[in-house]
Chain A
Amino acid sequence: MRLSGENLILERGGQRLFTGLFFEVREGEALVIQGSNGAGKSSLLRAIAGFLPFSGGHLRHEGGNAQARLGEQAHYLGHADSLRNALTAEENLAFWAVVHGGSACGVKPALERLGLLHVLDFPVRALSAGQRRRVALARLLIAHRAIWLLDEPTTALDGGSQTLFASVMQYHLSRGGLIVVATHAPLGIGAARQVRLDYAGHASVGVAV
């Protein structure tokens, strides 16, 4: 599987965020999007997921299911965590598992992986910000999708959970997955491709270690 962007242009509210963005991610690789606040990191991820249209350029994906849209083969995790306060962690995840094309029996192992088995029956509203974030991260594991689009995934996580999530990302990459992640914090997943977005609207590509 391969995901690439050629000469991408993105505008929001009549304002040009960036032009001439090239990137490429292959199986087992991570792409880190960096840039200051408002540079367009979240918008780029939303556009890759198919929620926003690019104003120009081409976004391509090869391999995977040729019939399905890119968004249907990707897990998108944004600032909003898609968890309903009134439902328990298990009910929330079981629902998303089935709707993502997986099955509800993957919920317990996913929560266990993120060290959250004890909050299974808690309504999500009773969880702390960090626990809530980890429940949201567990959603990535309950149904397999090759592409992960993550927007600041480690917000509110403590040190131990960040290390834990790094190992989860490593595992996904080792299974041939690919990750596009916008972040300010170091992720601890070794070498990754890197895209920098800056205010002038130019994008540069490099390798972060």
Chain B
Amino acid sequence: MKPAFALFQREWRIAGRIGGGASIGAVFFLLLVTIVPFALGPDLRLLAKLGPAILWIAALLATLLGLDRLFQADAEDGSLDLLVNSVLPLELVVLVKCAAHWTTSILPLVIAAPLFGLMLAMDGEALGTVALTLAVGTPALTMIGAIGAALTASLRRGGLLMAVLVLPLAIPVLIFGVAASSGARGLVFPAKPFIVLLAMTIFSLAAAPFAAAAAIRHVRD
């Protein structure tokens, strides 16, 4: 347990220092949400209707933003080699790194989502629902992204390739995430899309570490 905690602590420290990029994701999220009303115009009813979808797309893009460095930085400085030969199973390394990434970069964004939703003229109930679906659904995005990050870890400028690989895989999460946040209003909880979203997160938490670890082991230079 101690090595896993040490890895988590290291990731937190790196994210917190200058250039770590913990807050960049939330700022990027805010920018995306801010830009949309400029494009759509000041129609408040339209904005409120599109609100959950806008927040979800912004969350998806903000998640991908920092994720390409998840293993790349470790591959470049040789840390990944040592982690492969450490006392930790590589699957656990993947899971811990994802947990650290989610808590440092995505969780602030989930917490800020209701605030940003105000700019999209969403009402109180809708804001709460979106925050809840983001909290439940974004771990799946992180885990799916981790597979792409592992595949492109040793590539220079692999970030773009990672986005191309990961975005199609994230579509189901996006569909059910948006469905759960816009359909839940007036429905009895738990609504069906919400349960599917939860299932996707649980499945990705269980399966993605193995896929990402296999990718790290086999895609090496």
Using a Cβ–Cβ cut-off of 8 Å, how many residues does chain B contribute to the interface with A?
26
Query: With A and B bound together, what is the CA distance between A108 and B82 in angstroms?
Result: 21
Are A99 and B88 interface neighbours, CB within 8 A?
A: yes
Q: Which of A53-85 contact B (CB under 8 A)?
A: 69, 71-72, 74, 76, 78-84
Q: What's the least CB distance linking A202 to chain B, in Å? A: 25
Are A86 and B76 interface neighbours, CB within 8 A?
A: no
Are A78 and B78 interface neighbours, CB within 8 A?
A: yes
A72: contacting residue among B18, B73, B76, B85, CB under 8 A = B85
Are A50 and B78 interface neighbours, CB within 8 A?
A: no
Are A82 and B6 interface neighbours, CB within 8 A?
A: no
Selecting from A90-98, A114-122, A159-167, the interface stretch reads: A90-98
Where chain B touches its partner, the secondary structure class is: helix
Check if B43 is an interface residue, CB within 8 A of chain A: no
- Given the interface contacts A51-B81, A51-B84, A74-B85, does A91 sit within 8 Å of B3 by beta carbon? no
Are A84 and B81 interface neighbours, CB within 8 A?
A: no
Query: With A and B bound together, what is the CA distance between A30 and B20 in angstroms?
Result: 40
Are A86 and B18 interface neighbours, CB within 8 A?
A: yes
Query: With A and B bound together, what is the CA distance between A95 and B6 in angstroms?
Result: 6
Query: With A and B bound together, what is the CA distance between A69 and B37 in angstroms?
Result: 57
Check if A113 is an interface residue, CB within 8 A of chain B: no
Q: Chain A residues near B7: list those with CB within 8 A.
A: 95, 99
Are B84 and A99 interface neighbours, CB within 8 A?
A: no
Query: With A and B bound together, what is the CA distance between A83 and B82 in angstroms?
Result: 11
Check if B220 is an interface residue, CB within 8 A of chain A: yes
Are B77 and A83 interface neighbours, CB within 8 A?
A: yes
Q: Which residue of A is nearest B19, CB measured?
A: A86
Are B77 and A99 interface neighbours, CB within 8 A?
A: no
Query: With A and B bound together, what is the CA distance between A96 and B81 in angstroms?
Result: 12
Check if A188 is an interface residue, CB within 8 A of chain B: no
B76: contacting residue among A80, A87, A101, CB under 8 A = A80
Query: With A and B bound together, what is the CA distance between A112 and B36 in angstroms?
Result: 57
Query: With A and B bound together, what is the CA distance between A81 and B82 in angstroms?
Result: 10
Are B20 and A86 interface neighbours, CB within 8 A?
A: yes
Q: Chain B residues near A99: list those with CB within 8 A.
A: 3, 6-7, 82-83, 86-88
Q: What's the least CB distance linking B24 to chain A, in Å? A: 14
Query: With A and B bound together, what is the CA distance between A82 and B18 in angstroms?
Result: 19
Are B85 and A84 interface neighbours, CB within 8 A?
A: no
Q: Chain A residues near B2: list those with CB within 8 A.
A: 98
Check if B13 is an interface residue, CB within 8 A of chain A: yes
Are B6 and A98 interface neighbours, CB within 8 A?
A: yes
Check if A100 is an interface residue, CB within 8 A of chain B: yes
Are B3 and A82 interface neighbours, CB within 8 A?
A: no
Q: What's the least CB distance linking A115 to chain B, in Å? A: 23
Are A84 and B220 interface neighbours, CB within 8 A?
A: no
Q: Chain A residues near B10: list those with CB within 8 A.
A: 84, 87, 91, 95
Query: With A and B bound together, what is the CA distance between A99 and B14 in angstroms?
Result: 16
Q: Which residue of B is nearest A52, CB measured?
A: B220
Query: With A and B bound together, what is the CA distance between A36 and B27 in angstroms?
Result: 50
Q: Chain B residues near A178: list those with CB within 8 A.
A: none
Chain B window 1-27, contacts with chain A (Cβ cutoff 8 Å), 1 for yes, 0 for no = 011001101100110011110000000
- Given the interface contacts A87-B10, A95-B6, A98-B6, does A50 sit within 8 Å of B85 by beta carbon? yes
> Assuming A51-B84, A71-B85, A99-B82, what are 16 further A-B pairs, CB within 8 angstroms?
A49-B85, A71-B84, A72-B85, A74-B85, A76-B81, A76-B85, A78-B78, A80-B78, A82-B78, A83-B77, A84-B73, A86-B18, A86-B20, A95-B10, A96-B82, A101-B86
* A-B interface, 6 closest residue pairs, ranked by CB to CB distance from nearest: A80-B78, A71-B85, A86-B17, A98-B6, A82-B78, A101-B87
> Using a CB–CB distance below 8 Å, which chain A residues touch chain B?
49-52, 69, 71-72, 74, 76, 78-84, 86-87, 91, 94-96, 98-101, 104
